[in-house]
Chains A and B, each alone.
Chain A
Amino acid sequence: MAESEWPARGSKTRLMILWLGTAVAVLILTGRLFYWQVMRHNDLREIGQRWQLVDIPIPALRGTIKDRHGFVLALDEYEFEVFATPRDVRDPDGLAAELAPVLDTDQGTLVTLLSQTSEPSVSLVWDAPLQVAREVETIRDQWNAGAIGISPARKRVYPEKEMACHLLGFVTYDHEGDYDAFYGVEEFYSEELRGLEGSWGGASDALNLSISIGSRNVLLPQDGREVILTVDRTIQGLVEDELRRGLSEYGAEKGTIIVMAPQTGAILAMASYPCYDPNPHLGQEIPKELFINPAVSDAYEPGSVFKVVTMAAALDSGTVGRYGTYYDQGQIFVGGHLIVNWDRNAWGTISMTDLLKYSLNVGAATLSTSLGAEGFYDYVERFGFGQMTGIDLPYESKGIMRVPGDGDWREGDLGTNSFGQGIAVTPIQMITAVAAVANDGVLPRPYVVQRIEQNGQIIKEFHPQPGRTAISPLVAKELTEMLVDSLAGKQNLSIPGYAIAGKTGTAQIPVAGGYHPVDTIGCFVGYAPADDPQFIILVKMDRPRESPWGSVVAVPVFRRIAEKLFVYLGIPPDDVRMAST
């Protein structure tokens, strides 16, 4: 009995071991399956998709920049890379013969490129225009389809070339389709202008070519938004013409002109020279300093134009009345610093209007010292100096202004600052400050973009934002009349029928240890019509050779621009305008 049961017991044990073994194996397999299928699911799916799915990007076009009337100043276009896979080219000579006239390339060079069978792909042309790409497509259809490829890329185009280059900035694309926006509106509004790239996602075969069945995800690209500027292309064009002409006539090194609507702060034109063509050119080397927009980034000593601020402060504070006078002794000491007039003469009893007319430093210093440091600098700050104007452009400088309490402020600064020496301002700060006088004493906030659109719909609209009140409307009106009177008799400024308010300035250029003995900056800021200002213009000419004076080099440029603006903007002479209102 025991002998007959032994094998049966052994069989059961073996069966048990087999079951256990199987169970353990199943458990292990289940565990591994769980690990790979559940725990590593996402990783594996990602790896699989990477192999199986192809994701073809569809580039979005960067938004267009337009002037206030809708004329295009910057837009994207396509250019095409034409490339070939040499190992698929059966007849390099024949293909090169067909491609050479289309690509405008040497046939021998193409044969060499198409014969490089060790290379997986060779680029024939980087920047073929659309028409060439279409012709290449026709040739490709006649030859082996895999032999020639065409890949679109984007390119930024500035149809007006150099016009408003500092204002617009520029964009560079690389061959991967990535880009960088530098300076100007391009940089400041880059997020708005940037489009959303689309993609075509789907299954791919072993050659990474897309398969037309299976799941896919087509995401259409969304082009960038349109940015509409306050700038008027026609005004910008005439300003640039006059700037170039002025620089040539007076032998100036460089210059800046800004035209602004003083009641809103809208910039109608902003030009600086030398400038550059932002359109990308092969091998083009542009000195980096040209990229900086001098109108908002370059600080300079404003010279006598600053007397407008000093006079405004004196009038508004009640330090002096419009018809007040002072006795000009030809010199004044402020903080131990001797201040003299531009002609080193004593002018005797002088009215406030004549102070402006003859641009007397002693008079300006007399006013600032009468105001006192606290009062004077309070007004200087109210006019926006020492701080950024908030214009929607990058790299705005706030200038250099020392105030009492600063370690490097000296009492003499109170005197020199009153006539624009020892203080550095940007052209945009200066024109904004004088615009406050034209705008009933309220400082406008300058801006260059009026709205942002997408597909014809307005996404954002920028309305004029008045800044702080610098002086009272009454004082602003009085000062305007004084500025008009101070310019009376200046033949090179006279535009018959129109009253113009403004102030000339001739500033010395600081160098190490003092001021340059010869070089100056000549400038003029003026607005018209004086009783209802429609535009304000700042003209700044650096280092003119023909004459050092702003009244000689900047005023004629202002007059020529103003004359044309009266015609272009349809501003009738004062008497006609008064009669019709």
Chain B
Amino acid sequence: MKTDPVYLPRVHIRSPAELRSSMRFTGKTMGLFLLVLLLGSLIGSFYLNQASHTAAAGLEVLRLTGERERWRQDSAELRKRISQLESLSNVRRKAEALGFVEADTVEYLGVDNLPSEPSDAGISASPSTEDGHLEEPASEELATWWGELMARFESWMSTRP
């Protein structure tokens, strides 16, 4: 007599050791996952940090480029104003307003033995010590020197016709 085979469920009961091992595996996986998460977060935050720095730098570049352009524009404007102030017509107008007139005739005077350096000035234009180094004049000396200079200038002015 042929009987149908009976299929019984095979139950595998984990031993405590197996169970511990399985839990360890899960713990490892979790640890690994957390590690990856942590690394990912670090990389992410690093990237975000870099991106924000780049964005900030980009904005700064934009701002500086704009500022440079504004300086260029200001500089061009100043150059134009200088050129207009220096223009011949403007200089001539200002000179005439100040009482200058054109030199029509020039008299050339022959001077014999013209010294190459002014020797009778009496005032050294650049006071210096013997070894050639410049020395700061004392305030009294400076005042005296200035007084002398002004006196000479006034006397020269008074002798003019």
Mask, B77-108, CB within 8 Å of A = 1, is 10110111011110000000000001111101
Q: Given the complex of chains A and B, what is the CA–CA distance between A566 and B104 in angstroms?
A: 10
Contact in complex: A160, B58 (CB < 8 Å): no
A218 cross-chain contacts in B, Cβ below 8 A: 61, 65
**5 A-B pairs closest in CB distance:** A212-B58, A72-B83, A159-B83, A212-B59, A213-B55
Which of A73-81, A403-411, A419-427 lies at the interface? A73-81
CB distance from B22 to the nearest CB of A (A): 38
Secondary structure call for the B interface: helix
Q: Kindly state whether residue B41 has any CB partner on chain A within 8 Å.
A: no
A213-B54, A567-B106 known; A75+B79 contact, CB < 8 A = yes
Which residue of chain B has its CB nearest to the CB of A570? B106
Asked if A213 and B51 sit within 8 Å, CB to CB, the answer is yes
The answer to whether B69 has its CB under 8 Å from any CB of chain A is: yes
CB-defined contacts of B83 to chain A, threshold 8 Å: 71-72, 75, 157, 159
Contact present for A159 and B84 (CB under 8 Å): yes
Comparing A474-482, A485-493, A499-507, A571-579, the segment that makes contact with chain B is A571-579
Task: List B53-75 residues whose CB lies under 8 Å from chain A.
Answer: 54-56, 58-59, 61-62, 65, 69, 72-74
Residues in B neighbouring A53, C-beta threshold 8 A: none
List of A residues within 8 angstroms of B115 by Cβ: none
Interface size class of B (residues with CB under 8 A): 20 to 34
Q: Does A234 contact B (CB under 8 A)?
A: yes
List of B residues within 8 angstroms of A163 by Cβ: 88
A78 to B58, CA, bound (A): 26
- Evaluate whether A237 and B76 lie within 8 angstroms (CB atoms) in the complex, with A212-B62, A213-B51, A218-B61 already known: no
Given the complex, which residues of B lie within 8 Å of A64, measured CB to CB?
79
Complex alpha-carbon distance, A211 and B58, angstroms: 8
B132 at the interface (CB under 8 A from A): no
Report chain A residues within 8 Å CB of B76: 61, 75-78
Judge if A130 is at the interface, Cβ distance under 8 Å: yes
* Nearest neighbor of A77 in chain B, beta-carbon distance: B80
A141 to chain B, nearest CB (A): 14
Query: Of all chain B residues, which has the CB nearest A236?
Result: B88
Would you call A548 an interface residue if the criterion is a C-beta within 8 Å of the partner chain's C-beta atoms? no
How many Å lie between the Cα of A61 and that of B78 in the bound state? 14
B73 and A130 form a contact (CB under 8 A): yes
Can you give 27 contacting A-B residue pairs, CB < 8 Å? Answer: A58-B69, A71-B86, A71-B88, A72-B79, A75-B79, A75-B80, A76-B76, A77-B76, A77-B77, A77-B80, A152-B73, A157-B83, A159-B83, A159-B84, A160-B87, A160-B89, A161-B87, A210-B62, A211-B58, A212-B58, A212-B59, A212-B62, A213-B58, A218-B61, A563-B104, A567-B103, A567-B104
Q: Cα distance A199–B15 when bound, in Å?
A: 74
* Residue among B62, B76, B79 with most chain A CB within 10 A: B76
Q: In the complex, which residues of chain A have a beta carbon less than 8 angstroms from the beta carbon of B74?
A: 130
Residues from chain A with Cβ under 8 Å of B88 in the complex: 71, 160, 163, 233-234, 237
Distance, CA A77 to CA B61, complexed state (A): 25
Inter-subunit contact A78/B65 (CB<8 Å): no
Residues of A within 8 A of B161 (CB): none
- Minimum CB distance partner of A497 in chain B: B108
A176 CB to closest chain B CB, in angstroms?
18
Verify if A200 is at the interface (C-beta below 8 Å from B). yes
Inter-subunit contact A78/B73 (CB<8 Å): yes
CB contacts (< 8 Å) of A129 on chain B: these are 77
Cα–Cα, bound, A75→B81 (Å): 11
Cβ of A244 within 8 Å of any chain B Cβ, yes or no, is: no
Beta-carbon contact of B108 and A572 below 8 Å: yes
Q: Cβ of A161 and Cβ of B89 under 8 Å apart?
A: yes
Residue of B56, B59, B61, B79 contacting most chain A CB atoms (<10 Å)? B79
Residues of B within 8 A of A (CB): 51, 54-56, 58-59, 61-62, 65, 69, 72-74, 76-77, 79-80, 82-84, 86-89, 102-106, 108, 110
Instruction: Quote the shortest CB–CB distance from B88 to chain A (angstroms).
Output: 5
Q: A216 near B: Cβ within 8 Å?
A: yes
Residues of B close to A564: CB separation below 8 A: 102
A563 vs B106: C-alpha distance when bound (angstroms): 10
Chain B's closest residue to A72 (CB) is B83
Other CB < 8 Å A-B pairs besides A75-B83, A159-B80, A212-B59, 19 of them?
Answer: A58-B69, A61-B72, A72-B83, A75-B76, A77-B76, A77-B79, A78-B77, A130-B74, A152-B69, A159-B84, A160-B88, A160-B89, A212-B55, A212-B61, A213-B51, A213-B55, A564-B102, A566-B106, A576-B108
Smallest distance from the beta carbon of B115 to chain A beta carbons, Å? Answer: 16
In the complex, A75 Cα to B105 Cα: how many Å?
36
| Docked complex Cα distance between A544 and B73 (Å) | 48
A residues less than 8 Å from B77 (CB atoms)? 77-78, 129-131
Q: How far does the Cβ of B104 sit from chain A's closest Cβ, in whole Å?
A: 8
Q: How many angstroms from the CA of A556 to the CA of B100 in the assembled complex? A: 25
The chain A residue with its CB closest to the CB of B57 is: A212
| Residues on A with beta carbons closer than 8 Å to the beta carbon of B106 | 566-567
CB neighbours of A75 from chain B (8 A) = 76, 79-80, 83
| 117-172 of chain A: CB within 8 A of chain B | 129-131, 152, 157, 159-161, 163
**Distance between Cα atoms of A213 and B50 in the complex (Å):** 11
Contacts of B108 in A (CB 8 A): 572-573, 576
A573 to B110, CA, bound (A): 12
Task: State the Cβ distance, B55 to closest chain A Cβ, in Å.
Answer: 4
Residues of B within 8 A of A160 (CB): 87-89
Q: When chains A and B are docked, how far (Å) is the Cα of A159 from the Cα of B54?
A: 45
Taking the closest CB of chain A, its distance from the CB of B67, in whole angstroms, is: 13
Question: Which residue on chain B has the smallest CB distance to residue A203?
Answer: B58
Contact status B61-A159, CB under 8 Å = no
Question: A61-B76, A76-B76, A159-B86 in contact; A576/B110 too (CB < 8 A)?
Answer: yes
User: Which of chain B's residues has its CB closest to A56's CB?
Assistant: B65
Q: When chains A and B are docked, how far (Å) is the Cα of A115 from the Cα of B27?
A: 70
Most central of A64, A152, A234 by chain B CB within 10 Å: A152
